[in-house]
Amino acid sequence: MALQLAPITENFGAVASGIDLRAGIDADVTAEIEDAMDKYAVLVWHDQPLDDDQHMAFTLNFGPLDMGLLNVTKKPNRFKHEGFVDIANVGIDGKLMARDAKSVTSSIANQFWHTDSSFMQTVAKYSLLSARVIPDAGGDTEFADLRAAYDELPDDLGDIVTDLMAEHHPLHSRILLGNVYTEEQMANIPPAKWPIVRTHPGSGREILFTPIHIHKIDGMSDPEARMLVDELIEHSTQPQFVYRHKWRPNDLVMWDNRCTLHRGRRFDLTARRDLRRTTVMEEPSTT
Ligand code: OGA
Ligand code: MN
C-alpha cells in the first residue's frame, strides 16, 4: 500500500498510514514521507509496534543519528542501540523509578516548550518517538507550528527579533527547574548559537526559533533575554498553532525540530510511562 495522509489541520500535523514501518522502506517512500514532513511537520503513525532494530532502521532513512547529550552523559540504556533516548520513568532494570529519582526529575524539563538538541552545533532534523506504555491520564505531548507563529508575529516583536542571535545551553532548562551546576559543568558542554528567525529548509518558510534552551541573546541582559524568550514562546504556542497528541501504545510520532516546538504534559509519576526516541540530524556539511 502507498502512504496515506489524513491532515489534522490544513498545514500542520497529519495521521500517516498505509505503510508497515517494520518492513523497511525504500528511497521513494522515504522521499514521500519527507515531502509530507515538509508540509505537515508532525506525522502520527498508529499501530506500529517497532522493535529496537526496526525503529533504528526506519530512523536512519532520514539522516545520521543525532546523539544529543548521550555522548556526554554516557549512561547505559535498556535498548539495543546507544542512540535511543529513554523517555520513560523506568530504570535500566525495567522497573518504575521513584518519582524523585534523578533521571525522572531531570526529564521533567521535557515539559518546557523546546526543540530537541537545539544546544548542539549540528541541526536536529527529525525526532521519532515511539510509545509502549501510556498512563491512564495525562502525559500528552504538544507540538507548536513555528512557521505559523512567525507568520502571525505582531510587527513590534518582528522588529525586535530580526537579526537576533541566541545562545542555547542544554542545562538551562534544568537550571530553571532549580538544579544547580558548577561553572565547570556549564563549560563542559559548549552552547550553540542560532538566529531567532530562521528559514525552514523543507518548506522555505521563516520560523521563530524560540526553544526554552535559549539562555542568552546577543546585545541583551540575561533578564531581558529571559522575558523575551517567554513572550515569544507564549506567542508561538497559542492554541491555534498547537496540536496535542493523546498517545496510544504503539504510536510513533515524528516531528521536524527545525520548525516546531514540543513539550510533554504532566502525568502521575507513580504511573508507568514508557516511550523511546531517536533523533536524526541534517548532514553536517549542510549546516
Ligand atoms: C522528547 C520529548 C515529551 C514527552 O521525546 O523529546 O520531549 O511527552 N518528549 O515525553
Ligand atoms: Mn524533546
One-letter-per-residue 3-state SS of 189-237 = CCCEEEECEEECCCCCCEEECCCCCEEEECCCCHHHHHHHHHHHHHHHC
pLDDT score, position 70: 86
Q: With 0-12 CB in 10 A as exposed, 13-18 as middle and 19+ as buried, what is 234? A: exposed
| Joined grid coordinates for residue 184 | 565547570
Closest ligand to 252 CA? Answer: 1
- Which residue minimizes the CA distance to atom 10 of ligand 1? 264
pLDDT score, position 285: 63
What tens-digit pLDDT sequence spans the chain (287 residues)?
799 999 999 999 999 999 999 999 999 999 999 999 999 999 999 999 999 999 999 999 999 999 998 888 888 899 999 999 999 999 999 999 999 998 899 899 999 999 999 999 999 999 999 999 999 999 999 999 999 999 999 999 999 999 999 999 999 999 999 999 998 888 888 899 999 999 999 999 999 999 999 999 999 999 999 999 999 999 999 999 999 999 999 999 999 999 999 999 999 999 999 999 999 999 876 44
User: Rounded distance, CA 178 to CA 266, Å?
Assistant: 18
The SS3 assignment for 252 reads strand
Report residues whose beta carbon is within 6 angstroms of any ligand 1 atom.
87, 110, 116, 127, 129, 141, 262, 264, 275, 277
**Ligand 1 pocket: which of 85, 274, 275 to mutate (most atoms <8 Å of CB)?**
275
Q: How many Å is the maximal CA-CA distance in the chain?
A: 55
For residue 185, report the distance from its CA to the centre of ligand 1, in Å.
24
pLDDT score, position 173: 95
Q: Amino acid identity of 137?
A: A
- Which residue minimizes the CA distance to atom 9 of ligand 1? 264
**Ligand 1 pocket: which of 69, 79, 110 to mutate (most atoms <8 Å of CB)?**
110
Superfamily of structural domain 4-286: Clavaminate synthase-like (3.60.130.10)
State pTM to two decimals.
0.97
Phi, psi of 244 (to 5 degrees): -105, 120
pLDDT score, position 286: 47
For residue 156, report the distance from its CA to the centre of ligand 1, in Å.
32
Task: Give the angle subtended at the CA of 124 by the CAs of 2 and 234, to the nearest 5°.
Answer: 100
| Joined grid coordinates for residue 194 | 542560532
pLDDT score, position 189: 87
pLDDT tens, residue by residue, 68-123: 988 888 888 999 999 999 999 999 999 999 999 988 998 999 999 999 999 999 99
Phi, psi of 285 (to 5 degrees): -65, -20
Sign of dihedral through CA atoms 161, 235, 211, 208? negative
For residue 95, report the distance from its CA to the centre of ligand 2, in Å.
22
Phi, psi of 238 (to 5 degrees): -65, 150
Half-sphere exposure of 36 (CA within 13 A, CB side): 25
Three-state secondary structure of 140-167:
CEEEEEHHHHHHCCCHHHHHHHCCCEEE
**Nearest atom (ligand 1) to Cα of 141:** 8
Contacts of 191 (CB under 8 A, 6+ apart): 119, 167, 168, 169, 215, 216
pLDDT score, position 75: 85
User: Rounded distance, CA 287 to CA 284, Å?
Assistant: 6
